[in-house]
Amino acid sequence: MSIPENIREIQRRIRQTCEKVGRSPEEIEIVAVSKTFSPEKIQEAVQCGIRHIGENRVQEAWAKFQQLGNIARWHLVGHLQTNKVKKALQIFQTIQSVDTLYLGKEISKRVEDPGKPVEILVQVNTSGEKTKFGVSPERAIELVKELSLLSGIKVLGLMTIGAFLPDPEEVRPCFRILKELKEEILEQGIEGVEMKYLSMGMTDDFEVAIEEGANMIRIGRAIFGER
């Protein structure tokens, strides 16, 4: 299937899921995760109305950004090494993978205009898989509080990558953990912190994520094809 057809199909599935759980499809932002795919394919997705592009490596994103510029908002969804923060800030408006205070401080230090803070999401490891990045759920709220005190960054939500399990139903508990964290953070009313985005759900599990409250889904293969 073509990229336009793929996007229409995802939108149809979003509408269907939203209807099932009584949410509005307009709430759901799609981040098209374009790692390994060409700038031309990204352009095609943007022409279909995609407004958010996700990349997981700074170097790869840099080359595409040189060619495309700000045709959409760029989100870093992969791990960020501190020696790449400076370059990352030239590309990305949102960094979805902040999981340590150390990284938050490095970003804060390198923001050029503190009047225009960088949007960050705190990545939480909800599956407990040791191979995954992310702060533990137990430490997440404390980290959000610490990050909220830094200038030049603004905590706008939470992100997680669900467990890699064949049945999306089995991933549901991961999404539920993230949603509960969001609610606890809201209850605590941490100054300067918004919980605007709950970034969870990918090609194989985005419907379950939406059922659990996701309003930002990160889709690669279902848009661009197999990698």
Ligand X SMILES: *Cc1c(COP(=O)(O)O)cnc(C)c1O
Binding site for ligand X (CB under 6 A): 33, 35, 56, 77-78, 161, 202-203, 218-222
Helix, strand, coil % over all residues of the chain, rounded to 5: 45, 20, 35
Minimum separation from the CB atom of position 188 to ligand X (A): 27
Which residue number places its CB atom closest to ligand X? Answer: 220
Cα separation values, 170 from 20, 139, 186, 212, Å: 19, 23, 26, 13
Token digits of residue 85: 């923060």
Q: Which is nearer to ligand X, 108 or 123 (CB)?
A: 123
Of the candidates 148, 150, 155, the one whose C-alpha atom is nearest the C-alpha of residue 109 is 150
Q: Which is nearer to ligand X, 18 or 217 (CB)?
A: 217
Minimum separation from the CB atom of position 145 to ligand X (A): 24
Rounded-to-integer distance, Cα 54 and Cα 217, Å: 10
Q: Which is nearer to ligand X, 154 or 218 (CB)?
A: 218
Q: Which is nearer to ligand X, 6 or 108 (CB)?
A: 6
Q: How many helices (H) and strands (E) does the chain have?
A: 9, 8
Q: Which is nearer to ligand X, 69 or 225 (CB)?
A: 225
Q: Which is nearer to ligand X, 124 or 222 (CB)?
A: 222
Minimum separation from the CB atom of position 99 to ligand X (A): 12
Of the candidates 219, 146, 71, the one whose C-alpha atom is nearest the C-alpha of residue 120 is 146
- Across the chain, the runs of DSSP E, i.e. the strands, are 29-33, 52-55, 73-76, 94-98, 118-123, 153-159, 197-199, 216-219
Minimum separation from the CB atom of position 21 to ligand X (A): 21
Minimum separation from the CB atom of position 158 to ligand X (A): 13
Minimum separation from the CB atom of position 189 to ligand X (A): 29
